[in-house]
Each structure stands twice: as C-alpha cells, then as structure tokens.
Amino acid sequence: MTDTQAATETFFVPLNKLDADPKNVRKTYSKDGIAEMAATIRADGYRILQNIVVRKGDKRGRLFVTAGGRRLAALNLLAEAGEIAKDYPVECKERSGADATEISLIENTSREAMHPVDEYEAFRVLADGGKPVEDIAARFGTTETMVRKRLALARVSPVLLNLFRNEEMSFHQLSAFTVSDDHAKQVEVWNGLPSWNRDSRSIKSALQSEAMKANDKRIRFIGGIDVYETAGGAVKRDLFGEQNSGYALDVALVERLVVEKLEAEAEKLRADGWKWVECVSELPQEAHYMSRVYPKDVPMTDEQQAELDRLEGEYAELAELIEAGVADDEAEPRAESIQAKMAALADRGEIYDLEDVAKAGCYVLMDYHGKLSVERGLIRPEEQDEPAEGTDESSEPVPPRPETQPEPSFSPSAAFAQELTAQKTAAIRAELAHNPDVALAAVVHAMLASLFHPYCSTDETCLEVKLTSEKLETSIKNPAACKGIVTMDDLRENYGHTIPGNPHDLWEWCLEQPTATLLDLLAYAAAKSVNALQLGHYERRKQRAHADRLAQALKIDMTQWFEPTTENYFGRVSKTGIEQALTEAKGADFAAGVSGMKKADAAAYAERQIAGTGWLPALLKIAPTADRATEQGDEGQLDRDDCPFDLDDQPETENDQFPEAAE
C-alpha cells in the first residue's frame, strides 16, 4: 500500500490496540478538553467525525496514533466508564512512520477555531429545532454558558455581524451590542461613534441609557442642554426643576456632539502644524512615558520694552506723589491703570518652537470634569531624535568633546563613591537646616513637581519628599457638585497659569518667589495631601480622628460645604435612614409618616424639611477633640456620632450610616 492509498483508505482497529505515539508533538491534554471531546463523541452516537491517523507500532498488532491523541484519550475515557467496549472499532487511516512528526505538527498547529458567528448560527439552527441549551452544549462538547453567549448574538444586527466577519470589529465590541435588540439603534450607534471611541463601555452607554442628566459631564462639555436641544435632541424636563435642567433622551446625539467638539479642536491643532493629533476617550497609558517639548515665553519686542520702561517711570512718579500726599484725585486710578497695562505687557504668553511642533503631537480629550483637555508636545519613542553632538539627553548644552580624551587615572570604587556622596549629602543637609528660605523653596518645589509633573517629579528634586494626593472624584457620585472639589480645581487652574509649564524651569522659579507666594503654594500642596476617607476594607480611624483635629484648627463649618439633598444623600439611603435623619433634625413627629411613603416621595419630603436646619450625616460632622469636649462639660459623655474614638470593639461599616440601598 502506498502512502497515497493510506491517506485515502480507512480501516477499523480495536480501541485496545491503539497506543499514544511518542512522536506526537502534543504531549499534554487538559482533563476538560478530553471530557469535552468525550461529550461530543457521545452526542454523535459514539462516532468520531474525523478519522484517526496511525502508523505501525513497536509490537506486533499494535498501532501508534500519530494524529488524534485527544480523540484516543476521549474514547479510552468512555471505555473506562463502560459506555463503549474496550475493543470498540475505531476508524483509522495509516501513514508511514517517517511522516509521523510532520503530520502531528500539522494536526496541532494548522487547526483554526470555529468562528464565533459560525458557532452562533450552528447553535441557532439547533435551538430553533427545539434542542435545549444543555443538549447543544453536550453535542458540541462545550459549556452551557458558552452556548448562551453565542445565542445572545441573535440580538445583534446582521449588518454588525457582517462587519465582525470581515474583521472590521472586535468580538468585545460585538458583544457590547447584545444589551439591546434594536438593530436600527445598534447600527446608528456604531456609525455615530468615532473609531477611537468604539470601546464596549461607550457602546453600552449609548445603547442602554434612555436619558442623560443635564449636569452630566458630556452635556457640560458640549455647552449645556440648550446646545443639545438646538441640535434637535429631545429633552424631558422636570416641571419643578431649575432652568436648563432635565434629561437628554438621545444619548447617541450627545456622544456625536462631544465627538464633533473634540474633532473641531483637533482640526485647529492640525492647522498649527503639529506632527500628529489624536482624539481619545482617555489619555493612553503610553503617553505617560513619552518625551515632551514645552513652550517658551514670547520675547518682548523693542517697542514693547520701550513702552514698559515708560510705564514704569510714570508709575514711579505717581507712587512718589501718592506717598507724599500731594497727588490729585486722579493719581490712584491712573496708577491702577498703569499697573494693568504693565501686567498685560508682562503676560505675553508662551509659544512652541516650530521645530518642536514639527516632531511632536497632541492628544485631545474630555477630562473627568467635562472640560476640554489638550496634552501638547508629546513625542513618540520612534520619533525621538538622537542627541546631537555637543548635547546630552536633557538637551542642556555641554562643551564639545575633544577628538582624543586621556584615560582617567583614577576611578573610586562603588563603596567609596557612596561614602563621598554621603559626606556631600550630610553637608547639604546641615546647611539647608540653617536656611529656612531655601528650605521652603525646596519643599514647595518638590511638592509642586509631584502635583503638576507627576511623571518626572522624582527626577527633578533630590529631596525625598513625596506628596500623595488621593483622587476624591472616584469616591463621589457627582464630583462636579462638590464645592470643595470645585474650589480646589479653581486653585489648580489659577496656579497652573502661574508656575512654569516646563518642569526644568520650576526650581529657579521657586527660588525667585517671595515667601508669601511660597507659603500659599505650600498650603495648596499640603491641602491636596489631606485624606479623611473611610474605606470599605480599612476605616482609617486614627487618620480620620486627626482630620477632625485639623478641621477644628481651621474652624470649618461643614454646613457651608455640604447640604443634604435627594441626589447626594436622601435618595441613596433607605427609608429607615431618612426617618432617622428627620427625627434628629426636626423631631419624631416629622418622621412619623415616612414609612408609608414611596421612597422618592420620602426623599423629596426630607430634603424640604431638613433644608436650612444645619443637619448633617454623622460621617460629615466634625467630631470635637477630647480636650474641647471636656471644656464643654461633656467629658465621658460624648455622643457616639461625635466621638473620634470607638466606644466598643464592634466594627463600624458603611451600612451603619446607610442601612440599606435605595429602594
């Protein structure tokens, strides 16, 4: 028999005459894989769809299985279970031993998994024919969960299925469309989202959301609910709500308007000559590791410098007259006007070098608060220039190297180099300890580097002062409505316009600032490091107790920063929590009818009744310190809600303050 005949002719071999081939490249099979194959064979009447390839074995009458090791293991599993006989006839093809390894390699590497849509269509035919999911799973040797996932693709538009077949869409994207069965809406969402914003989250959000609040960051980003409405979007308004409130009913339209605004900004940047400009839904991780170019101050022209000199002279003359008390009534307004003009001349703005623009790019995105954010001056690794001769990697000029350099006569050992630098460090520490002005500048510089340039902060300072700032926005459902966060964001924006954009310039800038400015910046940086969070896995009781002491020193009135409403409190606790709040704020009589109300009505009622009373949830109260409590005559009688320490060993959980989720 020739090999060609062996490849086409089949014959039956008793199962107990077949052995695993030592030349088979696959040595290991998973138990689950064998069980799945056994289930497939069982479901098809104990037949195998693909014949096993064998060759002559070492012993007379026995054959090695060159291709079909998992099928052999599955048949043996069925034989051990008594489902088939040990000498069950297995249909085989024979090939020569010389080809065994090659055949085995082809068998294990050339096989392609069934396309998910093909699986779905095959499963659907069986399901439409009345076969239960359990039987389909057994027939194909897979799990019931996998069958249900494939059958869920029935919800997806055929247009999108074809896109997936043509590899124009990932399976992750395709799966996101199963949250809706509106085929027209699915296609509209896919076509409406830009290619860079077609992740599963965006797809699900556009399909699932029936309405979007007017204070959603995407609505704020496009300019408000009026802009959306002008574009033809339907709005559902609360008759008792504030002006310009309500809900946008066409989420896909909002997403499209967001994209249009981002793309419009991107077009402006492209017109400025940047090498690349990309719109993204969030800043890519690789952006944090890119090199960056920074803008430089616009130089003052000779005319501007002359005008500034003239204004300074005029201002000095007026200042002398005002100080001497002989100036007329117009002197002070005139001096203020001159100051404004000098400030305008000094604030010339910044500009990027054209060479930098030609090699760098920008990311355009909407930030966490719904504001336009542009990250300029990023250089991709493959686009970085090699350092030019005469410069080091930091682009600082260095003297040109001579053609020949003498070999160094001495190089200290690593241990000795460490000791010498330790001596230098000790000297710097001693001198810095006696110079509070420079120390203040150094600490502020290290903190600002951490806040404004976090990805290179450790390279810009020798101080091991690290400022950690917990991102509070992730812990607040609607951070845009939090007065404290808005205030800190405003401060960051103001300081962001003041401090240098290039981290290399920050040190010299700090040294030039007056003490008052450095103290203001130090207060801002220290404020960003405050963390009074209670976490689900760690309550941080001692830290929160110190936060209360800090708040006492600041004389904080929390009622000026938080007022309980339906959105931020009452709508998020159970009716028991609402009743407790009303009792504490206004007495049991006002809380008596809450149990008979619907949850939404109870929350609205509580908001109206408690408004203006100054009532706060226990976790927002500032607990007095033990010393202050003694002065108030409350020693040993502190209310549990006001005490910064625990009065028992029972763990305090979030559910103590929020007994149940909103009904």
Q: What is the pLDDT of residues 16-44, one digit of tens each?
A: 999 988 877 666 677 777 887 888 888 77
Q: Does position 627 have pLDDT exceeding 80, yes or no?
A: no
Are the C-beta atoms of 216 and 249 separated by less than 8 Å?
Answer: no
- Compute the distance between CA of residue 418 and CA of residue 412 in angstroms, rounded to an integer: 10
The rounded mean pLDDT for the chain is 77
- Cα angle at 10 between 8 and 14, to 5 degrees? 155
Q: Does position 401 have pLDDT exceeding 60, yes or no?
A: no
Q: How far is CA 540 from CA 68, 537, 651, in A?
A: 60, 9, 12
Q: What counts of helices (H) and strands (E) characterise the chain?
A: 29, 14
Per-residue pLDDT, averaged over 321-335, amounts to: 83
What pLDDT, on a 0 to 100 scale, did the predictor assign at position 409? 52
Structure confidence by residue, pLDDT tens digits, 406-417 = 554 566 677 767
Are the C-beta atoms of 252 and 189 separated by less than 8 Å?
Answer: yes
- Compute the distance between CA of residue 623 and CA of residue 617 in angstroms, rounded to an integer: 12
- Compute the distance between CA of residue 611 and CA of residue 585 in angstroms, rounded to an integer: 10
Q: Does position 3 have pLDDT exceeding 60, yes or no?
A: no
Identify the weakest region by mean pLDDT among 54-58, 244-248, 365-369, 560-564.
244-248
Q: Does position 244 have pLDDT exceeding 60, yes or no?
A: no
Q: Does position 618 have pLDDT exceeding 60, yes or no?
A: yes
Instruction: Kindly indicate the confidence band of residue 178, based on its pLDDT and cuts at 50, 70 and 90.
Output: confident
Per-residue pLDDT, averaged over 616-630, amounts to: 69
Q: Does position 66 have pLDDT exceeding 70, yes or no?
A: yes
Are the C-beta atoms of 65 and 54 separated by less than 8 Å?
Answer: yes
Are the C-beta atoms of 64 and 56 separated by less than 8 Å?
Answer: yes
Q: Does position 238 have pLDDT exceeding 70, yes or no?
A: no
What pLDDT, on a 0 to 100 scale, did the predictor assign at position 140? 67
What pLDDT, on a 0 to 100 scale, did the predictor assign at position 422? 67
The 3-state DSSP class for residue 642 equals: coil
What pLDDT, on a 0 to 100 scale, did the predictor assign at position 110? 43
Q: Does position 634 have pLDDT exceeding 60, yes or no?
A: no
What token pair was written down for 311? 């204004």
Structure confidence by residue, pLDDT tens digits, 530-545 = 777 777 777 777 877 8
Q: Does position 286 have pLDDT exceeding 80, yes or no?
A: yes
> φ and ψ at 599, to 5 degrees?
-55, -45
Q: How far is CA 442 from CA 333, 465, 528, in A?
A: 39, 10, 18
Q: Does position 650 have pLDDT exceeding 60, yes or no?
A: no
The H-or-E segment that residue 377 falls in is strand 372-379
Are the C-beta atoms of 416 and 495 separated by less than 8 Å?
Answer: no
Are the C-beta atoms of 531 and 467 separated by less than 8 Å?
Answer: no
- Compute the distance between CA of residue 564 and CA of residue 613 in angstroms, rounded to an integer: 10
Share of the chain above pLDDT 70, in %: 79
What token pair was written down for 76? 């043996």
pTM of the model: 0.44
Instruction: Kindly indicate the confidence band of residue 114, based on its pLDDT and cuts at 50, 70 and 90.
Output: low
Read off the amino acid at residue 7: A
Per-residue pLDDT, averaged over 534-562, amounts to: 79
Q: Does position 630 have pLDDT exceeding 50, yes or no?
A: no
